[in-house]
């Protein structure tokens, strides 16, 4: 007697699972870089954005960060210094998605008060060191950012060395020659 297994339920499960692939957490292989340039009047001059492919999933090395800084400290002939680095890592859990997506709903307001989820995604990076990101839901991976804020440096005028007046030292310490007389 030969039994025939009904494997339709497996196929149905796999098809249904494909519909929810976007809601599973996965490694980050790229992030958005945002460079914000602030002028001397504390106004935003420029915002640059680019995608950055991570060499290691969920991780940016210190050397990569230093290279980003070096490449972006000068913009349009203006010199900037690093003011702040911010990491936005959107780590919403799958079971929290319905609360997040229900705009204007009372459930979302209660959830915001309970979790305060705005505060847990944005982190200030205090040291220039390697930065790691947590896994993120595939559907929301475009939201993960590394934000670098630059402030314009006050430019100091360089003096021309040829037009400088030389410093003259007047030294009043001079020797007097005293003649010695011989007695006869």
pLDDT at 1 over 50: no
Note the Cα 110 to chain centre separation in Å. 31
CB atoms within 10 A of CB 163: 6
pLDDT (0 to 100) of residue 170: 67
pLDDT (0 to 100) of residue 70: 94
Helices and strands per DSSP (H, E), number in the chain: 5, 10
pLDDT, one tens digit per residue, over 93-144 is: 877 777 777 754 555 565 555 556 556 788 999 999 999 999 998 888 999 9
- Alpha helix locations (H) across 22-145? 62-72, 97-101, 106-115, 117-121
For residues 147-174, give the mean pLDDT: 74
pLDDT, one tens digit per residue, over 2-55 is: 556 667 777 776 776 666 666 788 899 999 999 999 999 999 999 999 999 999
Q: How far apart are CA 145 and CA 48, in angstroms?
A: 12
DSSP class of residue 73 equals S
Q: How far apart are CA 10 and CA 16, in angstroms?
A: 10
pLDDT at 66 over 70: yes
pLDDT at 65 over 90: yes
Q: In the 3-class helix/strand/coil scheme, how is 28-50 assigned residue by residue?
A: CCEEEEEEEEECCCCCEEEEEEE
Q: How far apart are CA 92 and CA 119, in angstroms?
A: 12
Decide: pTM greater than 0.75: no
The full set of domains in the chain, from first to last, is: 21-93+122-155 (3.10.20)
């Amino acid at each position: 007697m030969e039994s025939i297994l009904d494997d339709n339920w497996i196929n149905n499960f796999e098809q249904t699972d494909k519909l929810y692939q976007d809601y599973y957490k996965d490694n980050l292989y790229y992030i958005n870089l945002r460079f914000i340039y602030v002028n001397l009047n504390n106004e935003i001059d420029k915002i640059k954005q680019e995608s950055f492919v991570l060499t290691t999933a969920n991780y940016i090395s210190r050397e990569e960060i230093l290279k980003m800084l070096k490449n972006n400290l000068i913009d349009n002939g203006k010199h900037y210094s690093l003011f702040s680095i911010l990491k936005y890592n959107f780590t919403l859990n799958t079971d929290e998605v319905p609360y997040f997506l229900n705009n204007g709903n009372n459930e979302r307001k209660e959830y915001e008060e309970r979790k305060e989820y705005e505060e847990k995604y944005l982190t200030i990076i205090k040291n220039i060191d390697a930065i790691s990101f947590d896994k993120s839901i595939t559907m929301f991976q475009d939201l993960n950012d590394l934000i670098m804020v630059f402030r314009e440096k006050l430019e100091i005028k360089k003096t021309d060395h040829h037009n400088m007046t030389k410093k003259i030292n007047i030294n009043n310490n001079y020797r007097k020659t005293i003649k010695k007389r011989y007695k006869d």
